Structure 1
């Protein structure tokens, strides 16, 4: 697709005195965090800059062709894949560590050099309307909407309504998930939408029509419609089909040769490929950039720890746990680590919406501050498990039951960050084992 569809806005220099001062201070703060290794380096510079000039994000963003990525699940991975695809053709800046609030986005833009043309930015769902208003994006990728940390996040309807208002006022092309009714409804006023079908499996948050409240009916994973009004699944331009991203307009099927495991990452890559093509990047070049990604902010990464090959996986709500189960298909030994701090969400009742029955023939361990919550859930699912105090305890060998060296750790946010610190502090990462 011709890149002329996404003409880059005229370059905007940071010309206001207050904005220039904000940039100088923000870069100084970011540099200080980088040199000293203090926590908060992914957002501290942007936070300082925004306090000096609330409009500095708009001034910075005007110098780039901006792509925004948002949704409940898959934002960080899709952002990384899209950035790597675009980087095969032009300079790219991205908030690759997942700092997706305005201060993290601003920090990322502060780091860009003069050779950078594209900004690929992950955006928290609640902050997408502000990001659209302040960055004037050329392209917006919308992945999915589902319940997530309801003690601190709004329901899907409130998020979708805020997106509808934001998209109605933007010139951006939207790459959107055709299989999610909330996404389709949110895009109803968007100027131009490229629909992508990724065979969405989690449907428990969209049983009623977002438009009229009547029942939705489904046929398989790729068809849905309202029983009362006209809202229905649109025809997709791109479709994920057996590990291939199929472009219906050209009839071309592109093999997704990824190192990242699982069907969910094929879905993320299909969304990223559709975005890259709109930006004018040839499919082969975009795919080669994405194929080199083996981990994303520690996710899916292999570490040598306590004589085990430990792989870290992040799951934070029922939808993401469903996809994680697919990644765990061949895992003989699994550790679940669950916390419920503010960053995680304090409500763990969503565990009862997760199907754990596929783990009945595995060696399963549970840990974390809310280990008893997940232990209770596994007990009623009739999944045998062992309670342990730490990741190290789950690595202890039992000659009678051990199968291989692999241990997959599935954790929510703060438990995941703790696991990363643990494995990174004790030894080198394992040698890459090739593409999966």
Structure 2
């Protein structure tokens, strides 16, 4: 069987699997890719080669889905037809399934550019199979140690994969994350850095859950002036002089506006522009800066970046807003210490000095979440101690979360344990005051289960329709 016939057969088999999977309500984000690759192991490589504007890969521990969606909105505003794994299927089989879904029955793509959110462990394979035009790396934190290992292990694999890129590629890196910034050394392709210049959003010292605290050259502890969160900030080594790279795309000034949004003043060597971002939180401002940097690497003008981001809406489960009985629900995915801490910081800061919080926290320990939930003890839930009006905890590790909140200083009488998710949602809605939002903080599989329950109740759309 020739490669072209294999490609057609693989595409048809994958599309058939997709139709069946979605007909059964399964979404079809991975299995079509598995089936297609059994027939044609080179199908993703062949489809990627057909994209006239090439491929962009987005990876990192936190913010991949949101940043990729931001960049997709910018690319579409620019007028390009975008092939994008919008549902977040970021394993190599998910990338393949996305490419198949975007092809016709003959295996021909209709898109001009590919945009793939990519799982940290699958980035080397994605680079090998797509030969990307741009690789955007957001951050690198400890996450799911049972799946990934320590950050140094992942960084080593990334560095080896990035070293294979041709001179025509561009790697866009977070200057404020030393584990990421170091990836740009000695690459044979273009390297572009982005970063936050507004030091008002930092603190004097590195936080306790920081992962990359020591100089990659000499092992001395970095000095931060300041740290923004985790090990992200303005760092230098007092021993050997290694320091944060100067970013080409800069977030010069940032004004955070509670849970409603933020105003960003961005600049590069050619221009300066301001964006009113309709997403809250420091980390979303950095996601927007990353998306803008990748867009500038593709020579997209600032006015198109601004127009796209000012109309942006969050991905499912990532600061997704819903309304139930006139009450606002805000769902924010938490899955590791830094992400959880920053989400809590945003919520606490948004409600004012004395405003109470009503929460539903759902913690699972399934494979996609990471079976090791010790990260709960590194997340800064202490911020909630004086702020929680009522918190319902659910999921397979509900009891663990309840214990963590107790040790964080949340009064035990304000903690309700309900492992069954549907009952937990009902309980949280009943206990939360009607005049304030209910915040939903699930891990990954818990988020999918929670959205499935909301879909069943007619309160949300299936994620593949989002």
- TM-score normalised by the chain length of structure 1: 0.89
Task: Tell me, yes or no, if the aligned pair for 1:305 and 1:423 is still in contact at 8 Å.
Answer: no
Which residue of 2 is the match for residue 97 of structure 1? 87
Matched, 1:227 2:238: yes
Matched, 1:425 2:456: yes
Task: Tell me, yes or no, if the aligned pair for 1:164 and 1:189 is still in contact at 8 Å.
Answer: no
Task: Tell me, yes or no, if the aligned pair for 1:305 and 1:427 is still in contact at 8 Å.
Answer: no
Which residue of 1 is the match for residue 12 of structure 2? 24
Query: Is the alpha carbon distance of 1:223 and 1:295 closer, same or farther for their aligned partners in structure 2, counting shifts above 3 Å?
Result: closer
Task: Tell me, yes or no, if the aligned pair for 2:323 and 2:329 is still in contact at 8 Å.
Answer: yes
Query: Residues 262-321 of structure 1: CA distance to partner in whole angstroms, max 9, x if unpaired?
Result: 221111111101111221222111222222222202322222336632221101001111
**Where in structure 2 are the equivalents of 1:17-416 lying within 5 Å?**
17-34=5-22, 36-64=23-51, 65-89=54-78, 90-112=80-102, 114-171=109-166, 172-190=169-187, 191-198=189-196, 204-221=210-227, 222-240=233-251, 241-242=253-254, 243-252=263-272, 254-305=273-324, 308-329=327-348, 330=350, 332-359=357-384, 360-365=386-391, 366-384=393-411, 385-389=414-418, 390-397=424-431, 402=433, 404-416=435-447
Q: How many pairs were matched up?
A: 412
Q: Report the Cα distance in structure 1 between the residues aligned to 2:246 and 2:154, rounded to whole angstroms.
A: 24
- TM-score normalised by the chain length of structure 2: 0.83
Note the residue ranges of structure 1 that are not aligned, 5 or more in a row: 1-13, 431-436
Shift of 1:40: 4.7
Query: Is the alpha carbon distance of 1:251 and 1:92 closer, same or farther for their aligned partners in structure 2, counting shifts above 3 Å?
Result: closer
Query: Is the alpha carbon distance of 1:205 and 1:291 closer, same or farther for their aligned partners in structure 2, counting shifts above 3 Å?
Result: same
Q: Report the Cα distance in structure 1 between the residues aligned to 2:296 and 2:360, rounded to whole angstroms.
A: 39
Q: Secondary structure at the match of 2:122?
A: helix
Query: Residues 233-264 of structure 1: CA distance to partner in whole angstroms, max 9, x if unpaired?
Result: 10011222213242241351x22322222221
Query: Residues 329-349 of structure 1: CA distance to partner in whole angstroms, max 9, x if unpaired?
Result: 335312211111111111111
Note the residue ranges of structure 2 that are not aligned, 5 or more in a row: 104-108, 228-232, 255-262, 352-356, 419-423, 462-466
Query: Residues 160-195 of structure 1: CA distance to partner in whole angstroms, max 9, x if unpaired?
Result: 111111111102201110011110122223221111
Query: Is the alpha carbon distance of 1:268 and 1:413 closer, same or farther for their aligned partners in structure 2, counting shifts above 3 Å?
Result: same
Q: Report the Cα distance in structure 1 between the residues aligned to 2:450 and 2:430, rounded to whole angstroms.
A: 16
Q: Which has the higher contact order (CA 8 A, sep 6+)?
A: 1
Task: Tell me, yes or no, if the aligned pair for 2:60 and 2:138 is still in contact at 8 Å.
Answer: yes
Higher alpha-carbon deviation: 217-226 or 310-319 = 217-226
Task: Tell me, yes or no, if the aligned pair for 1:388 and 1:394 is still in contact at 8 Å.
Answer: no
Which residue of 2 is the match for residue 7 of structure 1? none
Q: Secondary structure at the match of 1:396?
A: helix
